[in-house]
Chain A
Amino acid sequence: MTPSREGARIALAVGAALALGFAVMACVSDQPWAAFRALLTGPLPSIERAADGRVVVHRLVRFGAWLQDATTLTLVGLAIAIPFRARQFSLGADGQLFMGALAAAAISLGLGDTPTALPLAFLAAAAAGAGWGLVAGLLKTRFEANEIVTTLMLNVVAVQVYRLVVGRVLNDPSAGFITTPPLPEAATLAPLIARTTVTAMVLVAPAAVAAALFLLRRTTLGYEIDLAGANPWFAVRAGVPVARATALAFALGGAFAGLAGFHVSNALLKRLPVDLTPGIGLEGIVVALLARGRVGALPLAALGYAYLRVGAQAMERATDVPREVVLVIQALIILFVVSDRLAPLALGLARRASARIGGRAA
């Protein structure tokens, strides 16, 4: 399927989901139009000309929330999409993110206000995430442990390790709650846009996607991962180190989830609370799903999905529509996007695709 057709198909799916979502809103809300408007325009800043002639930009916070959410989602999306190239269903982005965040905070606190703290924290986060991913990879390739089970269990382990370390080792007794001390300023990223948490990480995310694409398309390792995913029996017979490539696919994905952890610790929160909520890693699955496993489409999918998440928050605050309705719309979008044959256009495309398959076999 060509990218443009696929794009049209996704636009249609999203449109249909929004239309259905509006119907749901009209049922539960007294002000469905306002709610719908809040949902669709919530993440955008509003630009107004004030009485004294100055241009005032409102709601930058939510605009920033959109971008930083998309950043995190892109990175955790990579953590899902890369192992998927090797046909591995990793659900381990959460654990890798927690390990990355922990490593970044530990290095930052350990090194203090030195110029090396920031890059080293960055690298440590990637390494910790990669290491955590590699565990699942090795469990799979050495012991044939099902990766869905191991990655989910490793998530639990990672979260508990995180809580243990934050609560017992890196705890700041002067804070009123269980948390690490604030990270030293030299180790944290300054906002690019005032009043927001949008930092240089917003540029790191697309760079990470570009790096991942380069790795998958141009390197021998990327080729090995593709081949191992496409037909492992053939790959083995051809002499491709399938086990190594598969394990490294987990590690590579983990590195990006680790960077998402760095984003959380050194850009967003600048300290790590013990009750950091897990779950964003699982949202990475949704993003990878929306991108149809295509690495290049991850940033777009992440932007779209983050837009909806932030719009939902805006709607919840501004109107009587509960957040659950947005969860319904999100679920509808995913259903429509993954159901190839739902939309009429999709149906036509699917028919053409199957005709192509059928035609060549004649």
Chain B
Amino acid sequence: MTVAPLAIALEGVEKRYPNGTLANSGVSFAVAAGEIHALVGENGAGKSTVMKMLYGLERPTAGALRIHGRPVDFRHPGDAIAAGVGLVAQHLNLVPSLTVAENVVLGHEPRRAGGRLDRAAAAARVRALAEQSGLAVDPAATVASLPVGVRQRVEILKVLHRGARILLLDEPTAVLTPPETATLFATLRQLAEAGRTILVITHKLDEVKALAGGVTVLCQGRVTGSARMAELDEGALSHLMVGRDLPPPPPRRTARTRPVPRVVARGLGYVDDDGAIRLRDVGFDVAPGEILGIAGVEGNGQDVLARLLSGAAIPSAGDARLDGRVFTGLSPRAVHALGVAVVTEDRLHDGAAPTLSILDNLLATRYARPPLSRRGLIDRGTARRWAQAVIDGFGVRAAGPDQPMGALSGGNMQKLILAREIADAPAFLVASQPTRGVDIAAASALQSRLAALRDQGAAILLISADLDELLALSDRIAVLYRGRIVARFAAGAVDAQTLGLHMTGLGPSLDGDDHDAVA
């Protein structure tokens, strides 16, 4: 028996940025060909820098990289691609207005005479590639119309199309639902069996356990542990990653008193500009001090529901009331003034302004009224003191209120967004994917905040693709499928397996309606 050749080897790699930041130091680890290797660690541990060096986006300041045994010095991603290394970035780089096929072949297009793009060949190629790798996509679909989970598949296809033998994935499951995650894992295993090597960054312990053959833990730029998964249990891994034991998840509210509901939604429906029914006859109650979880595969109406409840879209049918007052159909500002707060699902798209300072980001929902402004003049002093208090109070790792929002890690950004939204003690919080893509410690802190808000009597609608989170925090869970609620559970009386069935439309129907009529 021969030892599998090493696909990736790092030897004492150091990355020091010109401003002095030491992102990696003495990093050594190796990944055998055909192995799925997990790179774990908290935000800021230097995982992405390792990825960037392997993909030619950064050059190590010391140490050596070897790909398939050969020393390499990647000066730009082109070198890495030529060496068979492909990166699936955390924030997907696709052209929204082009089709799936066009995106996949971009840069390596099949051409017809005269250099024109051969669309038919591109579509055929992509269809074949998709079937081979188990990544189901419609080559003719426009990327802009696809949910983020499908976009990621497109991104992986793009990397495969370039002939990558080594795949680098930076938090691939951060944007995925459990069924999508399962599909992705199956795909990755299949790719590994076919001899491809996969290096994946993740925050989630169970994913490491489920997927990886080997794991390397980074902490503050250094390797603090490296192990074969077989030798490690989850507790040991967790301890290795975080360096301490995590606080237990916030306890679910146990008192089953059901006072008058604070939020009552009835018959909510939404038809989009193309005439597609995105949401139909959605109704629910949320009591003060209660968290209602919304489960569902991405693209089944969660985003529309959140938009209707925050004033970003006007329902085609039905309404929702807060303490008896209708708040759907109003402007976002009016909705906010009534006591509704919103954490949007994509923080970089519509949850924050990355180029502006932390201070300016925190101001967004409060700048127009006292105490932060009077008669059109913003009181910068008061605002700054408040921003500093938020940074301190929420344990945000930041230099100060003037630091650009975009310079923060996902977890710190999300803490600030939640802080902004709950600053006015909302009566109703719509939280979409509040812990998506953030590290374990930050996710735990965010969940504690949600629990604390609930304990203060707020009604919370928690929309999450993370079933563990839903099960841990929610009092009740409703499942959205194709724009309608197909199942409702008391959170204590359901498990992830059952939820997963309903999320994919396989569960027994709630009311016997013909769901297929919902486009």
User: Which residues on A are within 8 Å of B, measured CB to CB?
Assistant: 217-221, 223, 226-227, 230-231, 233-241, 351-352, 355-356, 358-362
Contact = CB atoms under 8 A, between A and B. Distances in A.
Interface string B18-35: 110101100000000000
Nearest to A237: B350
Contact of A220 (B310, B349, B354, B368): B368
A227 B353 contact: yes
A225 to B, nearest CB: 12
21 contacts: A223-B378, A226-B356, A230-B353, A234-B351, A234-B353, A234-B364, A235-B353, A237-B310, A238-B365, A239-B311, A239-B333, A239-B336, A239-B365, A240-B364, A351-B18, A355-B18, A358-B17, A362-B23, A362-B44, A362-B48, A362-B221
Contacts of B18: 351-352, 355
Interface of B: 17-19, 21, 23-24, 44-49, 52, 57-58, 221, 310-312, 331-336, 342, 344, 349-356, 360, 363-365, 367-368, 373, 376-378, 380, 407-409
A219 B377 contact: yes
A240 B57 CA distance: 37
Contacts of A226: 356, 360
B367 A360 contact: no
B49 A358 contact: yes
B344 to A, nearest CB: 6
Nearest to A221: B376
A231 B48 CA distance: 25
B23 A231 contact: no
Given A356-B17, A359-B19, A362-B49, A233 B349 contact: yes
Which of B18, B58, B312 is most buried by chain A, counting CB atoms within 10 A of its CB? B18
B310 to A, nearest CB: 7
A218 B372 CA distance: 11
Which of A221, A226, A355, A359 is most buried by chain B, counting CB atoms within 10 A of its CB? A359
A216 to B, nearest CB: 11
Contacts of A235: 353, 364
A268 to B, nearest CB: 34
B407 A360 contact: yes
B417 to A, nearest CB: 10
Contact of B17 (A217, A219, A227, A359): A359
Contacts of B335: 239
Given A237-B342, A239-B365, A240-B364, A220 B336 contact: no
Nearest to B43: A362
Contacts of B377: 218-220
Which of A219, A221, A362 is most buried by chain B, counting CB atoms within 10 A of its CB? A362
B284 to A, nearest CB: 22
B52 A358 contact: yes
Nearest to B170: A361
A238 B344 CA distance: 10
Which of B17, B21, B44, B352 is most buried by chain A, counting CB atoms within 10 A of its CB? B17
Nearest to B374: A220
B378 A220 contact: yes
Contacts of B332: 236-239
A358 B364 contact: no
Contacts of A238: 332, 336, 364-365
A352 B46 contact: no
A235 B334 CA distance: 14
A226 B364 CA distance: 11
A239 B19 CA distance: 38
A359 to B, nearest CB: 4
A57 B332 CA distance: 64
Contact of B355 (A230, A239, A356, A362): A230
A74 to B, nearest CB: 25
A233 B342 CA distance: 14
A220 B376 contact: yes
Contacts of B24: 362
A83 B331 CA distance: 25
Given A227-B356, A237-B351, A360-B409, 11 more contacts: A220-B373, A223-B360, A226-B356, A227-B364, A231-B354, A231-B355, A235-B353, A239-B311, A351-B18, A356-B21, A362-B47
